[in-house]
Amino acid sequence: MLNAMRSTLPRARRLIGGFWELTHQTLMMVGLFVVAGGAYLYFQPHAISSLDRGLTQWVMARKTATDELQALAQKPSEALLPVAQAAQVPSVEAPALTAQQRTVSNWLARRYSIAPNAMAQLVSAAWTVGRQEKLDPLLILAVMAVESSFNPYAASGAGATGLMQVMAGVHRDKFAAFGGPQASIDPLANMRVGAVVLKDAINRGGSVRAGLRYYVGATTDANEGGYADKVLAEQVQLERVAGVSPKQTTAPLTASAGAQPGTHGTTPVAKPTVAAEPQLTEQKPSSLT
């Protein structure tokens, strides 16, 4: 036991000596820094003035910030009122829809995962635009469903944009009333222009099916990729949801001048030869109000 203690004493002395040496060297380094700093300040008196000004400014800034925080804590309601006012966003209420329109809106909102209020706005606008352009609103909604799945910011590789995928550059004149081609991503502007283009295409083609072919920019049924069938199938499904009787989609509509077929594509299409202007044989169903 005594021998063990004798062997550990030198080791402990070495450890203590090393610790003392390290402490001594550290204190020497600190002393050197203090001496060097004192010498610098002695030979550079302006540095003391700058340091004093900086320290004073920091203390004053801290005091001001502390006073503001205390005032804010004492009157939280008044201080936060401007923030609350800035955060207020006008609420968008769903438009007043008929029972039939509400049924269609709810069904489309669920199917395409669209916010109910947003879909209600689109359905209401489709009925309004349909009355203005004498188009079936369910056909307008069917085109939007196939073209963009009701995404107002959708864009195609060919440059078509918006709900109804209108070529804003081609139909620049129609967007002029809405501020120009950049309005093509505005849902209402896109729907209005798209409905006009669709109506012109139907009048040019003489039937809804042919008009849809013109609308997509196809020259024949063979190269339109089943587009008309997709839209018409969507329209039939919407008619079932709305509770109206399906109607013929090949009957001609009232013709009007100035049609511009080929909404999406760049391939021009020729106007078919007709003996006389087609007569109005297809009307919007009376149950669609």
Give the pLDDT of residue 24: 73
Whether residues 223 and 111 fall in one domain: yes
- How many Å from the N-terminal Cα to the C-terminal Cα in the chain? 109
DSSP-H helix ranges across 149-226: 172-175, 187-205, 208-215
Give the pLDDT of residue 14: 73
Q: What is the pTM of this model?
A: 0.57
Taking the CA atoms of 107, 108, 114 and 116 in sequence, report the sign of the dihedral they define: negative
Question: Is residue 284 included in any domain, yes or no?
Answer: no
Domain total in the chain: 2
Give the pLDDT of residue 227: 93
Whether residues 128 and 214 fall in one domain: yes
Whether residues 159 and 233 fall in one domain: yes
Question: Is residue 265 included in any domain, yes or no?
Answer: no
Give the pLDDT of residue 5: 58
Whether residues 75 and 177 fall in one domain: no
Could you read off the pLDDT tens digit of each residue along the chain, which spans 289 residues? 656 556 666 676 777 777 777 777 788 787 777 777 777 766 666 666 676 676 676 667 666 666 665 665 555 444 434 434 443 444 445 678 999 999 999 999 999 999 999 999 999 999 999 999 999 999 999 999 999 999 999 999 989 999 999 999 899 999 999 999 999 999 999 999 999 999 999 999 999 999 999 999 876 666 678 899 999 999 999 999 999 877 654 444 433 333 333 445 433 333 333 333 333 333 343 345 4
Give the pLDDT of residue 32: 77
Whether residues 209 and 143 fall in one domain: yes
Whether residues 53 and 166 fall in one domain: no
Domain boundary among 58, 87, 116: 87
Q: How many CB atoms lie within 10 A of CB 261?
A: 26
- Cβ neighbors of 243 (< 8 A, separation 6 or more) are 100, 103, 287
Question: Is residue 256 included in any domain, yes or no?
Answer: no
Residue 108's domain comprises: 99-242
Q: Please name which of 145, 128, 127 lies closest in space to residue 137, comparing C-alpha atoms.
A: 127
- Cβ neighbors of 76 (< 8 A, separation 6 or more) are none
Domain boundary among 224, 242, 260: 242
Whether residues 51 and 109 fall in one domain: no
Give the pLDDT of residue 285: 39
Whether residues 60 and 104 fall in one domain: no
